[in-house]
Amino acid sequence: MIIDMPDTTTNAVGKRLAYLRDEGGAVALGRVLTLVVVAEEADIEDSVRAANQASHEHPCRVVVVAPLAQRQGSAPRLDAEIRVGGDAGASEVVVLRADGEMLEHTDTLVMPLLLPDAPIVVWWPTGGPEDPSADPMGAMAQRRITDTTTAADPVAMLHRLAGTFRPGDTDLAWARVTLWRGLIAAAVEQPPFEPVTAVRVEGQEQHTSLDLLAAWLGQRLRCPATVVRTDSDDAITRVTLERKSGPIVLDRPDGRTVSITQPAKPVRRMALPIRALSEALIEELRRLDPDELYGEVLTKGVARVETVKAGA
**pLDDT tens profile 170-179:** 999 999 999 9
Q: Single out the residue in 114, 143, 172 at which a domain terminates.
A: 172
Q: Are residues 161 and 233 in the same domain?
A: no
Q: Are residues 275 and 141 in the same domain?
A: no
Average pLDDT for residues 184-193, to the nearest whole number? 91
Q: Single out the residue in 172, 200, 230 at which a domain terminates.
A: 172
Helix (H, G, I), strand (E, B) or coil at 239: strand
pLDDT for 174 equals 97
Please say if the pLDDT value at position 215 is more than 60: yes
Q: Are residues 152 and 236 in the same domain?
A: no
Q: Are residues 53 and 125 in the same domain?
A: yes
Sheet holding 225-230, edge to edge: 268-271, 257-261, 248-251, 236-242, 198-204, 225-230, 306-309
Rounded (5°) CA angle 43-45-48: 100
Secondary element (H or E) of residue 104: helix 100-104
Number of domains in the chain: 2
Query: Do 104 and 29 meet the contact criterion of CB atoms below 8 Å apart?
Result: no
Q: Please tell me what DSSP assigns to residue 127.
A: B
Q: Single out the residue in 120, 149, 172 at which a domain terminates.
A: 172
Q: Name the residue among 251, 203, 245 with its Cα closest to residue 227.
A: 203
pLDDT for 271 equals 95
Where in the sequence is the domain holding 241, given as residue range(s)?
A: 178-309
Q: How many residues does the chain have?
A: 312
Q: Are residues 118 and 14 in the same domain?
A: yes
Q: Are residues 138 and 185 in the same domain?
A: no
Q: Are residues 182 and 206 in the same domain?
A: yes
Q: Are residues 152 and 120 in the same domain?
A: yes
pLDDT above 70 as % of the chain: 94
Query: Do 188 and 196 meet the contact criterion of CB atoms below 8 Å apart?
Result: yes
Measured over the CA atoms of residue 295, residue 40, residue 273 and residue 158, the dihedral's sign is: negative
Helix axes 178-188, 209-221, angle to 10 degrees: 30
Q: Which of the four pLDDT bands, split at 50, 70 and 90, describes residue 88?
A: low
pLDDT for 71 equals 65
Q: Name the residue among 213, 255, 204 with its Cα closest to residue 233.
A: 204
pLDDT digits (tens, 9 = 90+) for 112-157: 999 988 999 999 999 889 999 999 999 999 999 999 999 999 999 9
Q: Are residues 123 and 148 in the same domain?
A: yes
pLDDT digits (tens, 9 = 90+) for 260-290: 999 989 999 999 999 999 999 999 999 899 9
Please say if the pLDDT value at position 195 is more than 80: yes
DSSP assignment of 131-180 equals: SGGGSHHHHT-SEEEEBGGGSSSHHHHHHHHHHH--TTEEEHHHHTTHHH
Please say if the pLDDT value at position 28 is more than 70: no
Q: Which of the four pLDDT bands, split at 50, 70 and 90, describes residue 87?
A: low
Q: Are residues 236 and 165 in the same domain?
A: no
Tell me how far apart the alpha carbons of residues 55 and 51 are, in angstroms, rounded to a whole number. 6
pLDDT digits (tens, 9 = 90+) for 97-108: 998 888 888 899
Q: Are residues 167 and 40 in the same domain?
A: yes
pLDDT for 100 equals 83
Q: Are residues 100 and 64 in the same domain?
A: yes
